[in-house]
Structure 1
Amino acid sequence: MDEATSVGTGETKEPSHDTSKVWGGIDLGGTKIEAVVIDEAGTVLGRARHPTPGDGDPSDVVQGVYGALKEAAQAAGTTPQRLVGVGVGAPGSVNANDGTLAHVGNVGRGWEEPYPVAADLGDLVGSRVVLGNDVQVAVAAEYRLGAGRPYRSILGLWWGTGVGGGLVLDGVPWRGRGAAGEIGHMVVKPGGARCGCGRRGCMEAYAGRASMERKARKAVRQGEKTMLFDLMHKKGRPRLTSSIWDKALQQEDPLATWLIERAVRMLGAGVASAINLLDVEAVILGGGLGTRLGPAYAGRIHDAMSPHIFVPERQPPVLVAELGELSGAIGAALLSQPPMK
């Protein structure tokens, strides 16, 4: 299913299901807003997906978030106003204490200054709204409910519009001073390609979907042939979504194949360096591209890591996120729940 498709799935439970204690979760991405409603155990009772307003300012994005949440709540047999709390996982600089979001480059028209997302959304839903980093909350969900359950320490690698990361170390989500896990901005080639962050040589400059699209557009202007943009126009998309990259790979499109293979090499080098530093037990691969390309590309990333691993006999597995495209929204909802006793 494409990132920007508007969906309200039929995951509605029977009316007898107790909806008196349910929480909402939002995964705010560059192309889509994913919303879920969960119960105390983390079971998804309703979900919805809406496109992110491509030209919207922050207030438009908040309205889009509310629309997706309302649809997910309806699928769960409730309303946003009956939710105990709502969590939002978002890219950019998150100030959880103030409920603000800043330095958001891939959402709407983007914004630099802190915007009170929690307060604005809280006014609409009438309940507590908490913010968290999108990848950190997704990795926490995978640790608690998904592919990370067998392990005490994991590294999340979220491969999508950008490249994000998250850490759980010895059972504790590690956020550092608020920006831990930004693996996409590890330098894999000093003085290399310019990243969307303005620096050069970041992993995201080679592997982020937005960066790969910029490279593809430049190649087309220089006369290279590709089906990527024909597929984009056929699907009516304004951007190269994960499904378009997947389709082009299946058709063995030369440019798409070269760009993805280059991305895998850079991911392998960067992730291996993180493993050499942290020695975690497993890598969880998520994000739009990660979940779309699945186990085959998890294996390729694992192979690309191998030449760089300092202790090769302890190279950790690379596992695809079990919660798939819902890991971010479920993690955001868990963020709004009280801590487990």
Structure 2
Amino acid sequence: MTRKPKEDRKRVLGGLDLGGTKIQAVVLDEHGAVLSQARRATPQQGGPPAIIEALAAALEDVTKPLELEPSVLTGVGVGAPGAVNAATGTLLQAGNLPGWSGPYPLAEALTKKISVPVYLGNDVQVAVAAEARLGAGRPYRSLLGVWWGTGVGGGIILDGLRWTGRGAAGEIGHTVVRRGGARCSCGRRGCLEAYAGRGAMERKARKALERGEKTRLFDWMAEQGKDRLTSGIWLKGLKHGDPLAVKLIERALRMLGAGVASAVNLLDVEAVVIGGGLGTRLGQPYVDRLRVAMKPHLFVPQRPPDLHLAGLGELSGAIGAALLAEPAAEVLAPRHGTLNS
């Protein structure tokens, strides 16, 4: 629920969660409370310049109810899909963003547009950091976040600190779960995302429809005026027992079980947090089913990690993005040490 700002509020942070289909925006106060939230569609044409315009417009949307201009924000964080260079604010690659090819100075471009310092991070990495500090991951010093949405992203917390590697750590969606398997949007074969990503599942569903398999998924899509199979449509398919929806979600769960368990075998984390558009929409019943799918693949099945649904829901990415601007605002001291950028 959006809360009205207090008259004595001095510092506010903006957060933008940039996804392949939507941009989620929030404004946080100096205590980390969500003051306002807004959402708009990600442009499907126009490449980086169009996306920069949309990000700026999303900030207008989210600050307007507070009777603020984006320029009064202390700082703005952007969580973007793909590999990033946080030090330079460059989005190196983003396969799930339409028209995005090659490195682009996203933070610099948006800073010029809104006249506010902009900080960039990987969307799932920042969402997982937010869950570790404010959400389902708070009791743990080590966890793996798995964001199940248009793609499959991940984030890692080790000994209370966010592990980013050289900028692309946690990309669990691009671990290979079947050698020589399905083609992924990254151009490789057998990636987890090629089986569990919502975009890949839609492509599979369209091919199945062309072969004559029965499904109402695309009828519901048309009825709702959508141009893609959203998480809500997949959930509706499951609730109605649509045979193709059930088959593809079951396939996704099998691959997620193998992929997530393998990551747990490598890192031996205390907990796994499931988020993302599809993960949060399908909810706890499917987190429980993932727990079952993981068990046969765990090296120590007698001691599985705790599994949780993201506590901050669909706002975790935008909240985590806003926290990237903490150096400017000096708010919300980390629960465990200093999270690296």
TM-score of the aligned structures, taking structure 2 as reference length: 0.94
1:254 correspondence with 2:228: no
Kept in 1, the 8 Å contact 2:124–2:147? The answer is yes
Residue among 113, 120, 123 paired with 2:102: 113
Note the 1:90-129 alignment, pairs <5 A.
90-109=80-99, 111-129=100-118
1:18 aligned to 2:8?
A: yes
Counterpart contact for 2:82–2:168, Cα < 8 Å: no
Q: Distance in 1 between matches of 2:8 and 2:106?
A: 29
Map of 2:47 onto structure 1: 57
Structure 2 residue 171 is matched with structure 1 residue 182: yes
Report the CA distance between 1:317 and its aligned residue. 1.9
In structure 1, give the amino acid aligned to 2:234.
W
- State which drifts further: 132-141 or 188-197: 188-197
Q: How does 1:95-244 map to 2 (within 5 A)?
A: 95-109=85-99, 111-244=100-233
1:95 touches 1:101 (CA, 8 Å); kept in 2? Answer: yes
Q: Superposed, which structure 2 residues align to 1:274-313 within 5 Å? A: 274-313=263-302
Where does residue 72 of structure 1 map in the other structure? 62
SS of 1:268's equivalent? helix
Alignment size in residue pairs: 330
Report if aligned partners of 1:13, 1:77 keep a CA contact under 8 Å in 2: no
Unaligned runs of 5+ in 2: 335-341
1:315 to 285, 304, 312: 304
Cα deviations by residue, 1:202-235 (Å, 9 ceiling, x for unpaired): 1101000000000000001111111111111111
8 Å Cα contact 1:159-1:290 kept in structure 2: yes
Report which stretch shifted further, 139-148 or 306-315.
306-315
Structure-1 separation of matches of 2:260 and 2:7: 43
Q: CA deviation at 1:115?
A: 1.5
1:263-308 deviations in whole A, cap 9, x for unaligned?
Answer: 0000000110111111101100000000000100000101000011
| 2:302 alignment partner, SS class | helix
Q: State the AA in 1 paired with 2:23.
A: I
Which residue is 1:271 aligned to?
Answer: 260
Secondary structure of 2:324 counterpart = helix
**What amino acid sits opposite 1:57 in the alignment?**
G
Q: Does the aligned pair in 2 maintain the 1:288–1:325 contact within 8 Å? A: yes
Q: How far apart are residue 168 of structure 1 and its match?
A: 0.3
Read off the aligned partner of 2:133 and give its amino acid letter.
R
Aligned to 2:320: 331
CA deviation string 1:316-339 (max 9, x = no partner): 121000100000000000011126
Name the Cα RMSD after superposition. 1.2
1:4 paired residue number: none
State the match for 1:45 in structure 2. Answer: 35
| Contact preservation (8 Å) 2:78, 2:121 | yes
Q: Contact between 1:47 and 1:75, CA under 8 Å: does it hold in 2?
A: no
User: Cα offset for 1:75?
Assistant: 2.4
8 Å CA contact 2:3, 2:34 repeated in 1: no
In the alignment, which residue of structure 1 is the partner of 2:74?
A: 84
In structure 1, runs of 5+ residues without a counterpart are: 1-9
Deviations 1:95-122 (Å, cap 9, x if unpaired)?
212212132222232x222222111211
The 3 A distance-change label for structure 1 pair 117 and 225 is same
